[in-house]
Amino acid sequence: MQFRNLPSVDSVLAKENVATAAQSFDRDWVVDLVREALDSARDHIRQGGDSPNADDVAKSVCQSIEDTMRAEPRHVINATGVVIHTNLGRAPLSKAAIEAASQAAQGYSNLELDLATGRRGSRQAQLQSLLCQITGAEAALAVNNNASAMLLGLSALASGREVVVSRSEAVEIGGGFRVPDVLRQSGSTLIDVGTTNRTYVRDYDDAVTENTAAVLKVHSSNFRVEGFTAEVATADLVEVGRARGVAVLHDVGSGSLVLTEKYGMAHEPTPQESIKDGAGLVFFSGDKLLGGPQAGIIIGKKELVDQLARHPLARAVRIDKLSLASLTATLVHYLKDEVEQEIPIWRMISTQEPALKKRAKAWQSGLECPSIIDKSRSAVGGGSLPGETLPSWVLSLDCGETGAVEVMRRLRESSTPVIARIEEDRVLLDPRTVLPEEDGQLLDALRSAVNK
Ligand SMILES: *Cc1c(COP(=O)(O)O)cnc(C)c1O
């Protein structure tokens, strides 16, 4: 009977590794872990397995402790070539942004204290002035993320009223963010106009009634409608809004403050253009093409921004001090005109082919595994520029008997996990998204994954 061979709780607790753990951690917790390990050993036996001995159980208890103590999220190396990878935490921060967050975390800060007067101040004053300076907007407000920016905007301006949206823009952004759901949650009613592929000014004009609070334009950030299409420009919507007395709200999504065509990609709508066209409020993310921390940015007409700032939800979705500090530091790079040098995602996007090829070659020379340096494409990602890619060079590994899937698994399980991609049964590593200081760790991971 295998159950009789199961070690007792005490005998596992007496093992040196578990005894040491019980001294450094909460003893009750360690005892619970031993019981849980014995429970799963019982399940194992019920399914016809052998009983583990006390050493086996002790080892699994120590593994549970290690798993719980490991700092998460862990640092991983992004060799996918997708610059803004939502699963990998979107934009890495600039040195100055990291330093700013670290400063804000240490000790106290003048978060809501005006140092000149000694009175209560606004946590956002400097950020707002930077945003207005960069975008030409009258007023600005930063919140937790773009989804909460939209929820706040619609709740404050349109609750109990109607919002007109083009049928082609009632979209799902991903991760459960759907425009119709956000509208419903805000208490406003969606009035969709036009068709999936074509919407005209007169569609909006016909739909506006005395119940209309706003017209909402949403950037279709993660897909593209091609062919027989028509959409209404922001400036034309602003005309409708002005004539009919309703606000025009624009979710530009990724919010690139720089012109993406400069890097050979399609034009991504910028918040500045939308402000110039006269939009009432413009919403965008802090951690997509802006290259900063998770945040939602709202810019626009002072009267509207003030209404949002006074709404009770503003407090519920407010930005925390660490993100505020790093967002402010990120925006300073735009004013100093050092975006390509300092903001990691823009450094990656602007890296030219020869430099990428050279790095892929340097990786290759450190490896003893059949590989080639191949021309490829990197994607921008993050729900921006759908279908747009940048020319790149990758290290392409022939994984032989081991197989690409197994090599990918080994790379993910390295002490610094490496995330790559598979194409035609080869593992591809794109230097564009690997930070220069990560080269050593990448090579270590690669060597042990292919030389096993
Ligand atoms: C990404 C995106 C959002 C959601 O932004 P978060 O900052 O992730 O909350 C909303 N709208 C559009 C168009 C987007 O691309």
Q: Is 412 helix (H, G, I), strand (E, B) or coil?
A: helix
Helices 439-450, 404-412: axis angle to 10 degrees equals 130
Contact by Cβ (8 Å): 253, 221: yes
Alpha-carbon distance of 280 to 403, in angstroms, equals 54
Among 285, 288, 385, say which to mutate for ligand 1: greatest number of ligand atoms within 8 Å of CB: 285
pLDDT, one tens digit for every residue, the chain (452 residues)? 678 889 999 999 999 999 999 999 999 999 999 999 999 999 999 999 999 999 999 999 999 999 999 888 999 999 999 999 989 999 999 999 999 999 999 989 899 899 999 999 888 999 999 999 999 999 999 999 999 999 999 999 999 999 999 999 998 887 778 999 999 999 999 999 999 889 999 999 999 999 999 999 999 877 777 888 888 999 999 999 999 999 999 999 998 999 999 999 989 999 999 999 999 999 999 999 999 999 999 999 999 999 999 999 999 999 999 999 999 999 999 999 999 999 999 999 999 999 999 999 999 998 988 999 999 999 998 766 777 899 999 999 999 999 999 999 999 999 999 999 999 999 999 999 999 999 999 999 999 999 76
- Placement of tokens 């606000």 in the chain: 247
77-86+346-451: what fold? Aspartate Aminotransferase, domain 1 (3.90.1150)
For 208-238, the DSSP string reads: --TTEEEEEEE--TT----SS-B---HHHHH
Q: Give residue 226's pLDDT.
A: 82
Contact by Cβ (8 Å): 181, 147: no
Distance of CA 317 to the CA centre of its chain: 17
Supply the residue whose CA is at minimum distance from atom 13 of ligand 1. Answer: 253
Task: State whether the Cα torsion 250-251-256-259 is positive or negative.
Answer: negative
CA distances from residue 304 to 23, 65, 137, 230, 310 in whole angstroms, order as listed: 58, 51, 12, 29, 10
Q: Give the ligand 1 atom nearest the CA of 286.
A: 7
Supply the residue whose CA is at minimum distance from atom 6 of ligand 1. Answer: 146
Alpha-carbon distance of 84 to 82, in angstroms, equals 6
Q: Give residue 324's pLDDT.
A: 97
Task: State whether the Cα torsion 279-284-286-288 is positive or negative.
Answer: negative
Which amino acid would we find at residue 152? L
Contact by Cβ (8 Å): 85, 381: yes
Distance from Cα 173 to the centre of ligand 1, integer Å: 6
* CA-wise closest residue to 87 among 417, 360, 346, 442: 417
Q: Give the ligand 1 atom nearest the CA of 294.
A: 7
Supply the residue whose CA is at minimum distance from atom 10 of ligand 1. Answer: 253
Among 85, 165, 177, 181, say which to mutate for ligand 1: greatest number of ligand atoms within 8 Å of CB: 177
Distance from Cα 331 to the centre of ligand 1, integer Å: 19
Contact by Cβ (8 Å): 397, 422: no
CA max distance for the chain: 85
Of the CA atoms within 13 Å of residue 321, those in its CB half-sphere come to: 14
Task: Tell me whether strands 426-429 and 139-143 are parallel, antiparallel or unpaired.
Answer: unpaired
Run of H or E residues at 392: strand 389-398
pTM of the model: 0.93
Distance of CA 168 to the CA centre of its chain: 24
Alpha-carbon distance of 331 to 51, in angstroms, equals 60
Phi/psi at 82 (5° precision): -90, 110
93-342: what fold? Aspartate Aminotransferase; domain 2 (3.40.640)
Contact by Cβ (8 Å): 290, 257: yes
Distance from Cα 32 to the centre of ligand 1, integer Å: 42
Task: Tell me whether strands 247-253 and 212-218 are parallel, antiparallel or unpaired.
Answer: parallel
**So where are the chain's domains?**
9-68, 77-86+346-451, 93-342
Supply the residue whose CA is at minimum distance from atom 15 of ligand 1. Answer: 253
Among 182, 221, 270, 274, say which to mutate for ligand 1: greatest number of ligand atoms within 8 Å of CB: 221
Which amino acid would we find at residue 115? L
Supply the residue whose CA is at minimum distance from atom 8 of ligand 1. Answer: 146
Distance from Cα 431 to the centre of ligand 1, integer Å: 27
Supply the residue whose CA is at minimum distance from atom 1 of ligand 1. Answer: 253
Of the CA atoms within 13 Å of residue 250, those in its CB half-sphere come to: 29
Contact by Cβ (8 Å): 296, 252: no
Contact by Cβ (8 Å): 295, 93: no
Q: Show the ligand 1 pocket: residues with CB < 6 angstroms.
A: 145-147, 173, 177, 218-219, 221, 251, 253-254, 285, 296, 383
